[in-house]
Chain A
């Protein structure tokens, strides 16, 4: 009886301690992966903070879009690749309405602003300009993004979804071309409310550069192995852009005085003292974006409640066109019973934690393989698979099981012939999984 009551109380507290904060456009959900902890020793635990966009009231309503399509037309794009890219761009254009702003920038050795930022009303003119595009020389990727950002800036506003779609098939070789330079640019653009998504086509582009740019800039990276894949990718990305419900989303976690924030697993975070700040940029309807924060909890006595952190979110709603915010408090409870700890696990949150830990390991395996240490990489992937399968079983998560399987597949695909393609597939997959 006492046992049952205690468990029930814990369960109830679990519910009370972590009520989802209902804001108009964005649903904030923050909580410990393991809300009940072992008493008597300090430990590192994980907090999952997620935001999920709430769709607009009326189904066909959506926020107007300010879109810049940046196309690579370097010499290597000649033929099928450029044709497919043009088709994909045109089909993206066709989904826009008269309220939307579109600009098209094409780059090779130079940058040509094909269509300066304009409303998407005269679609025929824009289609013609895109169709007339021909291949050229080198790859001034940085300049292409810069000009795209300039076009976007002409109509940038927090009442529009501001997004750049960058396409490239090769290595940037004109202007600043390092991953760091592009990453820095991505960070800067995101601060101004512009999100960059990147699309790599073929097997010759720099996936590190493209994923870093997309990740820093709040967007996603897509790998188009074949030119024919471009159409569906543009479609998917445009779908994402059209489903944005809030922009400039920021998570601020104020940790309790004796709780030490250690690190955020899957995103760039600013940790200053007790405050952790993470930008989540654009939030999509019915899609979750989250971060995992590792914190150090001090030794606590059983049956005590420890305030762990207070989570704040602020964002700009595209429906109300106003700034909104929400908050949620997180607390931990302590017990001496390992079983209670296990039963109290927030399965969904823990699933995300396991996934992110495995992703880190997976990244490590990739860098080992880059250094040529194939056997170590394989071992790491196999141990990762074991870890995922074990936890997948424990948490009853198909997702983790599947990811474990992927690790196994990757472990057997580390040979030279497959690696180029494999690496691109892995990096783009992981970019999604880390940043959502």
Chain B
């Protein structure tokens, strides 16, 4: 199929790029989305046709460092849009979308019937039970690209994780410390935790946490971050967490997994993940809480989501329960341990972009962290 010959065909100077095709139906938040490391290696198709209207914000606004960005650079392999705004109008804007992408060396293709492309891709993914790979190239180029990049085949985490452990102090010297395993963490997770007054250790994705924990006894909680890729390929990470879960049973040590972190925690606990037919790619996914297999209440929440793999309910080991489910397709949206403060969610309680309705999950995690004392149950 050929795309992008529409009247609004415009593109950045980088005109050839390849990656897994994914989409998002979020209508705002394109800078957050493009810089979200979960999209590393992926080409994002924006279903909302007008992208770039409010430009790209200044990197550091006083009091709001890096708001609008989820990592230090554009992580996506490229973007496909209906219409990329040639100008922008916003008080916070420093530059335009196209200029920004050019400067970062990431390609954008405009003028595409993104609705039709998403429909085609969605059905193909379901039919073939496989990721759909995309290759965008400039037809005038003498040597066209031939290689379809598949980030799902890659051990992608080294590209998005910190290389060395970093410590982020809290303003209060007595604040508890949380370790965060960075599989491609969104900055808003860090911002949200910092805003709640904790100090942070940001650890490389393949840190042997059980060992590290022994030399950092001050740490009172663990957060497994979001990130890109097929979780089943994150072998070292899964093994490390599995080891820690085994050793940490006596501790009642708080763990929270988000998105990929949720999948990693589930895999470490013996569950399986699988590629979903459609995935969830929007800011409007409804979830509800489950208690002993029943709908826990008449309450539901809207969440921001971006994932193509999911945890299989039937594969959960005993001792673990489904915590949240998706109200549309009833897929697993969160799991929790029946006795330990180990929890994880498939969605993004930190939002950015998208609704912030489940920020209470971060609150609860911090409450657990603050209540944690070495030596297990008081």
A binds B: no
